[in-house]
Amino acid sequence: MKQDKTLPPEEIERQYDYMRRVREWNREGLKACVLTFGCQQNEADSEKLAGMAEKMGYTLTETPADADLIVVNTCAVREHAELKALSVTGQFKHLKEKKKSLLIALCGCMVSQEHRKDGIRKSYPYVDLVFGTSRLYAFPELLFDCLLTRRRSFCLDAGDEGNIPEGLPSARKSKSRAWLSIMYGCNNFCTYCVVPYVRGRERSRRREAILSEAKELLETGCREITLLGQNVNSYGKDLYDGYDFADLLREIASLEGDFLVRFMTSHPKDASEKLIDTIAENAKIAKAFHLPLQSGSNAILAAMNRRYTRERYLSLVEYMRKKMPDIALSTDIIVGFPGESEDDFEKTLSLVREVKFDNIYSFLYSKRKGTPAASSPDQIDEKVKGERFQRLLAVQDEIARQKSASLAGRIETILVEGRSKTDDTRLTGRTESNRLVHFIGEDGLIDRKVRVRIDRGEPHALYGTLLDKP
Ligand code: 5AD
Ligand code: SF4
């Protein structure tokens, strides 16, 4: 059934009222620290949590030890992400012992799993506030309740179909690059994935709301907008008749200004020729496509419930390259899915060799409670998974090395992000095709577009020389 899931504006107004009440209740000078695990969607959510914290009078800090309120926005996609969030939360116990007034909140995908509820309650007694993904907007109300009653508050939403909160404040980390969520949730139920269980069903934001947010971003100096959703290719299926993701992309790209639009993530079963044509025809849409493959074996793709074949994937790539020979392609691959034979894995390697991706995000299969694949009797031995993972990395490293080396001498326009994390004499930015470039330059160039000549390429980064500021 087509249905707009936008929350009534009064509900958001109520939360603004709670933001004001928290600000009045708290003494001045308090600080909040928001820590984020996981994907870009979580980063976008954290910017909203930080935005609400600011409106509640908190100043933002990146140092948990300085904070009066710590919010841990968790991820559940792989076990490793959960363990990391739990171990970081564990370290806050001693902070709370030193500062009794410290409030600790846990939210996001991990806590949205029903089976986590009791564990967190019992093992983390110093956590004050726990709320799931579909209650993010109610953070001010829940926090106020906690402050007032000094009681722990658990607001979980396992099984909740979800909603769309419009108009929440956002403390964006970058002035020049912004995340823009266009939809939430996922309907695909890939058999390894926990996302549909923790983020609910697919629901699209109204296009008017998206376009007005995009315009506002551009008016305030944003140069790059990344449209976010678990499967952006199915945008609008729950809302408008016929208005789809390609239409939305085209409409955003037609807004005034010098900017680029990116998007993630796509699902190969829904990526259409119309979408590819739209990218090819619009200069403001980045020529970069992240298209998760997961496996090159049809038997494994079927077991994953991906609903496309290796052949369909290859024909999409062929069409993209026919239309845009220079397009940068990246993908996600899971190694060691239950039942993956040596032959299945070889099929993944052969597809990787054939496509020559610009970048691969590879993951060891991780059992997720409640997903069909977790109870498969054909789990792959950890050692075998590890070996296959290394083989995939070696194949991709060689491809990336050759690709990067071939870029030497090119002139690229890049949007400067900040100082390089590994070498603070250099600035770092990304090309339109999403390649990281390091070069020597001054802080004044951060958030601006510059031209750089590529001097040399290493597998995962390019090094260049600043030419000028266009
Ligand atoms: N184990 C390993 N990787 C996973 N992903 C999703 N679920 C799992 C899992 N259970 C990967 C997929 C997806 C990316 C975001 O995370 O490759 O595209
Ligand atoms: Fe998970 Fe599949 Fe949905 Fe992506 S499309 S979020 S992998 S269920």
DSSP string, 189-203: --TT--HHHHH-S-E
Query: What is the Cα–Cα distance from 349 to 343, expressed in whole angstroms?
Result: 10
Identity of the amino acid at 416: V
| Residue 443 CB neighbours (<10 A) | 9
Strand order in the sheet with 31-36: 59-60, 31-36, 69-74, 103-108, 129-131, 153-155
Counting atoms of ligand 2 from 1, which one is nearest the CA of 196? 8
Q: 158-194: string of b/e by CB count within 10 Å (b at 16+)?
A: bebebbbbbebbbbbebebbbbbbbbbbbebebbbbb
Q: How far is CA 172 from CA 27, 137, 161, 215, 284, in A?
A: 25, 16, 27, 15, 22
- Cβ of 196 less than 6 Å from ligand 2: yes
CATH of 411-466, one of 3.20.20.70, 3.30.1360.70, 1.10.490.10, 2.40.50.140: 2.40.50.140
> Is residue 83 packed enough to be buried (19+ CB in 10 Å), middle (13-18) or exposed (0-12)?
exposed
Q: Report how far ligand 2's centroid is from the alpha carbon of 127 (Å).
A: 30
Distance 76 CA to ligand 1 centre (A): 10
Nearest CA to ligand 1 atom 2: 365
Rounded to the nearest angstrom, the distance between the alpha carbon of 35 and the centre of ligand 1 is 21
Distance 19 CA to ligand 1 centre (A): 36
State which ligand 2 atom lies nearest to the alpha carbon of 265: 4
Cα(194) to ligand 2 centroid in Å equals 8
The residue whose two tokens read 């290493």 is 458
DSSP H/E element including 260 = strand 260-264
Query: Quick check: 418 and 442 in contact, CB under 8 A?
Result: no
Please work out, in degrees rounded to the nearest 5, the angle formed at the alpha carbon of residue 28 by the alpha carbons of 23 and 34: 70
CA of 334 to the centre of ligand 1 (A): 6
* Matching CATH number, 174-285, of 3.40.640.10, 3.30.750.210, 3.40.50.920, 3.40.190.10: 3.30.750.210
Query: Pairing relation of β-strands 411-419 and 449-458?
Result: antiparallel
Rg value, the chain, Cα:
23
Mutate to test the pocket of ligand 2, among 42, 77, 186, 293 (most ligand atoms within 8 A of CB): 186
Q: In tens digits, what is the pLDDT along the chain, a chain of 470 residues?
A: 567 899 999 999 999 999 999 999 999 999 999 999 999 999 999 999 999 999 999 999 999 999 999 999 999 999 999 999 999 999 999 999 999 999 999 999 999 988 888 889 899 999 999 999 999 999 999 999 999 998 998 887 644 578 999 999 999 999 999 999 999 999 999 999 999 999 999 999 999 999 999 999 999 999 999 999 999 999 999 997 789 999 999 999 999 999 999 999 999 999 999 999 999 999 999 999 999 999 999 999 999 999 999 999 999 999 999 999 999 999 999 999 999 999 999 999 999 999 999 999 999 999 999 999 999 999 999 999 999 999 999 999 999 999 999 999 999 999 999 999 888 899 999 999 999 999 999 999 999 999 999 999 988 889 999 997 65
Residue nearest to atom 16 of ligand 1 (CA): 77
Rounded (10°) angle between helices 382-405 and 342-355:
10
Which pair of tokens denotes residue 249? 């992309």
- In the reported structure, the alpha carbon of residue 368 is separated from the centroid of ligand 2 by a whole-number distance in angstroms of 13
List the chain domain ranges.
Answer: 9-155, 174-285, 287-406, 411-466
User: What's 134's DSSP letter?
Assistant: G
Do 174-285 and 287-406 fold alike per CATH?
Answer: yes
Ligand nearest to the CA of 368: 1
Architecture of domain 287-406: 2-Layer Sandwich (3.30)
What is this structure's pTM?
A: 0.96
pLDDT of residue 1: 59
Identify the residue whose C-alpha is closest to ligand 1 atom 9. 366
pLDDT at 354: 98
> Nearest CA to 54 among 83, 20, 89, 93?
20
Q: Are 53 and 32 in contact (CB under 8 A)?
A: yes
Task: Indicate the CATH number for domain 9-155.
Answer: 3.40.50.12160
pLDDT in tens, 173-215: 999 999 999 999 999 999 999 999 999 999 999 999 999 999 9
Cβ < 6 Å from ligand 1: which residues?
77-78, 192-193, 292, 294, 332, 334, 363, 365-366, 368
Three-state DSSP class for 333?
strand
* 203 vs 155: CA distance, rounded Å: 21
Handedness of CA 183, 186, 192, 197 (dihedral sign): positive
267 lines ligand 2 (CB under 6 A): yes
- Quote the pLDDT of residue 470: 58
- What pLDDT was estimated at residue 3? 78
Residue of 37, 43, 78, 79 best suited for mutating to test ligand 1, as the one with most atoms within 8 Å of CB: 78
Residue 230 Cβ < 6 Å to ligand 2: yes
